[in-house]
Amino acid sequence: MKIAIIGGGPAGLYAAILLKKQRPQAEITVYERNRADDTFGFGVVFSDATLDNFEKYDPPSYRRITQEFAYWDDIAVHFRGSVHRVGGNGFCGCSRRTLLLLLQERARELGVTLLFETDIDDEARFADADLIVLADGINSRFRDKHIDHFQPQVDLRSNKFAWMGSTRPLDAFTFIFQETEWGPFIAHAYQYEAGRSTWIFETDAETFRRAGLEGLNEQQSADRMGKIFGWFLDGHPLLTNRSMWRNFPMIRSQRWVKDNMVLLGDAKATAHFSIGSGTKLAMEDAIALADAMAQAPTVDVALQTYEHGRREEVEKTQHAADVSLVWFEHVDRFWDFDPVQFAFGVMTRAKAITYDNLTLRAPEFVREVDKAFAKQVRGKGFNVDLETPVAPMFQPLKLREMEVANRAVVSPMCMYSAKEGVAGDFHLVHYGSRAIGGAGLIFTEMTCVGRDARITPGCAGLWNDEQQAAWTRIVDFVHANSSAKICLQLGHAGRKGATKLMWDGMDRPLEQGGWDTISASPLPYFPDSQVPREMDRAAMDRVKQEFVGSALRGEASGFDMLELHCAHGYLLASFISPLTNQRTDVYGGPLENRLRYPLEVFSAMRAAWPAHKPMSVRISATDWAAGGITGDDAVVIARAFGEAGVDLVDVSTGQTVRDAQPIYGRMFQTPFSDQVRNEARVATMCVGNITSADQVNTILAAGRADLVALGRPHLVDPSFTMRAAAWYGADIVCPPQYLPGKEQIFRNSVRDRQDFEDLKIKGKPKTRAELKAEATKPLAAE
Ligand SMILES: Cc1cc2nc3c(=O)[nH]c(=O)nc-3n(C[C@H](O)[C@H](O)[C@H](O)COP(=O)(O)OP(=O)(O)OC[C@H]3O[C@@H](n4cnc5c(N)ncnc54)[C@H](O)[C@@H]3O)c2cc1C
Ligand SMILES: Cc1cc2nc3c(=O)[nH]c(=O)nc-3n(C[C@H](O)[C@H](O)[C@H](O)COP(=O)(O)O)c2cc1C
């Protein structure tokens, strides 16, 4: 077999090593345009998990790599004169040059031919090769040559960055967030061998311009960085090696394989440097390719197996990198945070590290985070314990005069079980049990302001006395038997009205017994949905009055809070999104105009709703569709509602149009809450695939939301909050009838938690840093 590998970076060399081991008879050649020891960059990082992989696949190169590596366990965050260190991270650093030289040595030893100073510009010269590996890096000539086939998407990120080195020793992966007269600069730094550290500097485009970095040569910009970070560099110089400022390209390729050619490493996909995964991804690609080649009967099948098997893992890493880079791009959002909360945000930015996880590794750090959170709550007038504070989830919150005992919320969820809009026994049990279960705040399902405002025939309403009496019964039960507050969500289905019950076909039009629908514009939801009537001014006045009427009935029923539903493509949302609003009057066109009617309805309700009671608005912070609402629009929308007197923005997303492409995942909507809260400076509630109390605490402690709503988890577990309270040892109100149950779970939780922590600590393999420390520790005197 003949294998040609274009590019002698980590991907190409490691693929050569693994394939040659697998097929000693194969003729494998690596073509590299540079000289053997001619390399850019300084250090590379690997996690312990990646090193485990290397150990498994090629022990000799693994041993050489680990002999050359610097280990560290801590991450240190420097911000506004403070430094917070968190241990247990298990990372290693190595010189990129050393890594490449030892991979070259190993490849040669196995019989791979390495041809340096050989620039390949045409794959035709490999016509007799069985496999051509395109490992030619981020600017891959071959990916671009076959651009129509590979279909790469290049997302050039807005921040500027430059890679430098220093002789400054470091004992931790170090983040320095530095305020300057021009704006914030960030250094990501780590040691990779004795006396050498990597320094990646990053800043936003405006700060870059203001700092006059545009047009400076390498040395001049190193001098400028040296001045900014001089206090930390401690007299050590910054070193350059092709250290030009650039914008990071996030690259994703639609296809990785063409005939017998396959993309590997940066050529196929990149991952932002802030999660230190570029070289890791490149070498793990080589592992995946070698695995596929070992098992498949033909090269063709192997390449398909490689692409299908590897794509999800690469996309997951890229997603984590995306989330992380967005955090760094918007670091100014958090600039006025308490430093410990800021450091918590840095640690948890990419979702892998959480509150509970940090509690195990760095309990002192988390205690400080809890204290800072409690201090903020105290600042709002609550007499909370500052010395041994409860976890953020169990800290109270005040909106106007309404106080909620904890931050867990039952998200609004239609039960499709009302008769002619009247909530019945099912609703009483549903809301009642969730209130007793401990949630601080309960939202009703979307309660419709008129018969024709309903989504389905099973939707609850609040437009007549019977419905009002039914809601009063539920509200009274909640107030009498729990400390939960209850918020009425009012909405109008718009063009998504007159549809079937969820279990009969979500959003599908009713075949019989439907009613006329209205919307901002006459656009059906599905092609076969009813075409809604475009609202005229008279219809707008009528519907506004319906909202006000229902709000007044809500007050009469005793609700503590009121939410206006402006999300998910329903009537008011249909005005806000440009995808559903094509009006040419003053309610269409720019966002300011599209917001006009929803704001009008909100203001009319606000005027009717008691001044001491809070109001929220639910928005879709993105339509997940081209040309639709984006996170930046959501900030404008939130500000507009804020000015109109909203107390909380309930940040949901999507459901506006059928062809949306949401990116689901754990806590997938939380970044929008983060953006709205910390840019528009309004209180927010986040929601969406948040399934554990650990996630709730992580979100709150990082300042990404003020309340956290859980929908589906509450459908199966009314006592979600009660159980979390037991786990975290936070006291919680419980009706006297259930006290023995509460006492038992609180008692058992102490033991369960201890067992869990012991198990986690025992089960955690030692990091290489710990193993090395143990191996070099002098034996204790007998
Ligand atoms: C300026 C810079 C500095 C970096 N520094 C670091 C760092 O310090 N730490 C870190 O972890 N990551 C660093 N990275 C990222 C890291 O290099 C990559 O994520 C990783 O090296 C990807 O490995 P690869 O083998 O896919 O690509 P590369 O390492 O880029 O290797 C591709 C190789 O192909 C060769 N090549 C390209 N075209 C041809 C051709 N037509 N013919 C022959 N040869 C060709 C190139 O010369 C190169 O050696 C840096 C990236 C850049 C751009
Ligand atoms: C059965 C069901 C009904 C829902 N009904 C409503 C509703 O009436 N109003 C609303 O704003 N959102 C509604 N939603 C959306 C939820 O409030 C929530 O935003 C969504 O389920 C994501 O949160 P989760 O991942 O915690 O379930 C509903 C969700 C479900 C599962």
- Ligand 1 center to 265 CA (angstroms): 9
- Ligand 1 center to 561 CA (angstroms): 56
pLDDT digits (tens, 9 = 90+) for 652-664: 999 999 999 998 8
- Ligand 1 center to 91 CA (angstroms): 21
- Ligand 2 center to 496 CA (angstroms): 15
DSSP codes, 171-225: SSEEEEEEEETTEEEEEEEEEEETTEEEEEEEE-HHHHHHTT-TT--HHHHHHHH
pLDDT at 781: 39
- Which ligand minimizes its atom distance to the CA of 199? 1
pLDDT at 93: 86
For the CA of 714, the closest atom of ligand 2 is 26
> Cβ(689) to ligand 2 under 6 A?
yes
pLDDT at 88: 79
> Cβ(562) to ligand 2 under 6 A?
no
Q: How far apart are CA 149 and CA 124, in angstroms?
A: 17
- Quick check: is 192 catalytic? no
Enumerate residue ranges in the chain where pLDDT < 50. Answer: 780-782
Which residues line ligand 1 at a C-beta cut-off of 6 Å?
A: 6-12, 31-34, 40-45, 96, 119-120, 135-138, 141, 163, 198, 242, 265-267, 278-279, 282
pLDDT at 782: 34
- Ligand 2 center to 490 CA (angstroms): 14
For the chain, the first-to-last Cα distance in angstroms comes to 60
> Cβ(412) to ligand 2 under 6 A?
yes
Residues across the chain: 782
Residue nearest to atom 19 of ligand 1 (CA): 278
For the CA of 13, the closest atom of ligand 1 is 25
pTM of the model: 0.91
- Ligand 1 center to 188 CA (angstroms): 19
Contact 569, 657 (CB under 8 A): yes
Helix, strand, coil percentages in the chain from 3-state DSSP, rounded to 5: 45, 20, 35
Q: How far apart are CA 449 and CA 544, in angstroms?
A: 9
- Which ligand minimizes its atom distance to the CA of 274? 1
Q: What is the biggest distance separating any 2 CA atoms in the chain, rounded to whole angstroms?
A: 93
Beta bridge partners of 708: 408, 686
- Is the torsion defined by CA of 746, 748, 753, 754 positive or negative? positive
How many CA within 13 A on the CB side of residue 641?
Answer: 36
For the CA of 271, the closest atom of ligand 1 is 19
Q: Which of 409, 410, 413, 568 to mutate to test the pocket of ligand 2 (most atoms within 8 A of CB)?
A: 413
Of 71, 416, 525, 570, the catalytic one is 570
pLDDT digits (tens, 9 = 90+) for 114-167: 999 999 999 999 999 999 999 999 999 999 999 999 999 999 999 999 999 999
